[in-house]
Amino acid sequence: MLPHEKDNNLALLLASLGISDALLARKALPYHPDARALALAETASNGRQHFMIPAAAEAWQAMKAEAYKDGIVLEIVSAFRDLEEQAQIIRDKQARGMDMEAILTLSAPPGYSEHHTGRAVDINTPGCEEREEPFEHTDAFRWLTAHASRFGFALSYPRGNALGFIYEPWHWFYQPGAQA
């Protein structure tokens, strides 16, 4: 039994998107339930509030402050996303004519996104296009690569990752206990 089959609302949402149980089983993505408690991690310059679980928000703020001391500006592009927000990301890609196999190399289906946990964060830095591979050529990425583990963050989707997602140098995941 797939994890989402225990949640009828999630099963219906996945079915409405055309995401079959067979496709989910073949992709073998880990299930990620929604976070229960969230804290404000950052308010963007456009006023958008980004939430994470309290421990991840605290670690993010400490990491951002430390990076700033080193002359590096880190900004949240996206943090916690609920099931409906994740579903809308899939719908938007479908509306652009993408097939589901291609979509699932770019975005996890609802229920299977690390963003649901409140521990994932998409990061950017000024002057770089959001959620694009050239982020790997920034000082911010080099800083994260060298220092993020001290704060419990790790790159989720390196090149050639086992889950079949594209390389996402901007996507980092807070793992309590992973701190060096």
Q: What is the pLDDT of residue 7?
A: 82
Q: Using DSSP bridges, classify how beta strands 120-124 and 171-174 pair: parallel, antiparallel or unpaired.
A: antiparallel
Q: What residues pair up with 42 in beta bridges, in sequence order?
A: 50
The DSSP 8-state label assigned to residue 87 in this structure reads H
Q: What is the pLDDT of residues 109-118, one digit of tens each?
A: 999 999 999 9
Q: What is the pLDDT of residue 116?
A: 97
Q: What is the pLDDT of residue 31?
A: 93
Residues above pLDDT 70, as percent of the chain = 95
> Which pLDDT band, with edges at 50, 70 and 90, does 108 fall under?
very high
Contact 41, 52 (CB under 8 A): yes
Q: What is the CA radius of gyration of the chain?
A: 16
Q: What is the pLDDT of residue 180?
A: 42
CA 167 to each of CA 29, 87, 107, 135: distance values in angstroms, whole numbers, following the listed order: 16, 21, 11, 11
- Tokens describing residue 91: 């719908």
End-to-end distance of the chain based on CA atoms, in angstroms? 37
Q: What is the pLDDT of residue 179?
A: 46
Domain 3-174 has CATH 3.30.1380.10: yes
Would you kindly state where each structural domain of the chain is located, as residue ranges? 3-174
Q: Is the pLDDT of residue 5 over 70?
A: no
Q: From start to end of 12-159, where are the E strands?
A: 39-43, 49-52, 75-78, 120-124, 153-155
Q: Sign (positive/negative) of CA torsion 91, 167, 21, 118?
A: negative
As a whole number, the mean pLDDT across the chain is 94
Please state which of the ranges 5-9, 51-55, 56-60, 124-128 shows the lowest mean pLDDT: 5-9
CA 43 to each of CA 40, 48, 137: distance values in angstroms, whole numbers, following the listed order: 8, 6, 25
Q: What is the pLDDT of residue 1?
A: 57
Q: What is the pLDDT of residues 62-94, one digit of tens each?
A: 999 999 999 999 999 999 999 999 999 999 999
- Tokens describing residue 29: 């993505």
pTM value?
0.93
- Rounded-to-integer distance, Cα 168 and Cα 148, Å: 15
Q: What is the pLDDT of residues 25-52, one digit of tens each?
A: 899 999 999 999 999 999 999 999 999 9
98 burial via Cβ count (<10 Å: 0-12, 13-18, 19+): middle
